A and B are shown apart, each in its own frame.
Chain A
Amino acid sequence: MKPPSAVEPSAAKGIAYLRGAPLMAFALIYTIVSGGPFLWVAMMSLRTTPEIFASPYALPSSIHWEKFVDAWTKSNYGTYFWNSTIVVVTAVALLTVIGAMVAHCLARYRFRGNRLVRFVILSGMILPPQLMILSLFQILLEYHLYNTLTGLIIVYVAGHLAITVYILEGFFAQIPQDLFDAARLDGYSDLEIFWRITLPIGVPALFTTVTLNFIILWNEFLYAVVLLTEDDKRTLPLGIMHFMGNHQLDVGMVATGLMIAIGPVILLYAFFSETMIRGMTAGAVR
């Protein structure tokens, strides 16, 4: 005999599906809204501009892979890509090391002015870039860093330190103090403890900041457009603008340029998205 409250297994499943339906519908709409434009650009990148003007939403009738070669060779895309790579990889590397050190200090040491330092660093998050662009322009001019990749790297590191420290500190603060004490008794100095304990344990959080910073900086436009004006210094997002000026909005080439620019970000996200999410949500040490 069944207990009176028991529900048929199939009926229970049905109820579970029904409960999940609104969520599924939301996920579906979200996917269409965010994935649709990407697919559209991807399709346009393989079509010529006249084809696109003739029928904007059509599937490619013949696939024009040569557009990627054209974008790379005929315009300055190789240089832009290389510039972006230098700037972003250097900035992300510096951000990771400096940010981790700052976060380690704030999370681990009690020193006079600890709170003030944290406040000053983290307040960088609330300042919009537009607010600082003029003064940054002036400063870089004075230090002969205007129109240099070094200048842009410094600006990127300074601008993203706050969010990097914020994410890393939250994670590092959860690493139990006993681990640091144990390492000290094992004979290690503070710097060695940072390299051998904090960094390896903090890997999930480091992946998060590396991925996040990489994606944001790779797509960064505002600082780049103001601080770099020479063509051979430009980064990829500026390169795309190039197609708009010189070719009277060559939509097809803009789409191709966008696909080239977006490639590394998609690759990175595909490999590290899970680690990144884990780093944002999980505790440091189980």
Chain B
Amino acid sequence: MKPIEPAELSAYMDGELDPARAREVETALESSPALRGELNRLVSADNSWRAAARIASFRPSIRLDTAPRPLHLRPILRAAGGVILLLAARVVPKLGSTLEVELILNAFALAIALIWIVRLMTRPDIR
């Protein structure tokens, strides 16, 4: 049997050793008072730290109703942006007057604003 490493004794205490190795640790513990003493020290410290850490915990008040749907909005927004650019590329060269250009630019700005509003609405809020 391989000698028991100190880290394995910790893992044994945590119940994280595989069953075969755990049995070997148990056999070693039966024949070694020093190993039993070390395990007792580990267990004592572990219990004390666990009890102390538990005091820090509390039941938080969490709201999930503001959670955004896990929609994949990014590709949708990208596609919308692409369509807008395509339309702009087709329409702008055909424009004659300054008024028409201004109208198109305003529509473009409005589309960008709408995209940002959608993004803000789907952002997770902290409160």
The answer to whether A binds B is no
Q: Which residues of B contact A (CB under 8 A)?
A: none
Chain A residues proximal to chain B, CB less than 8 Å:
none
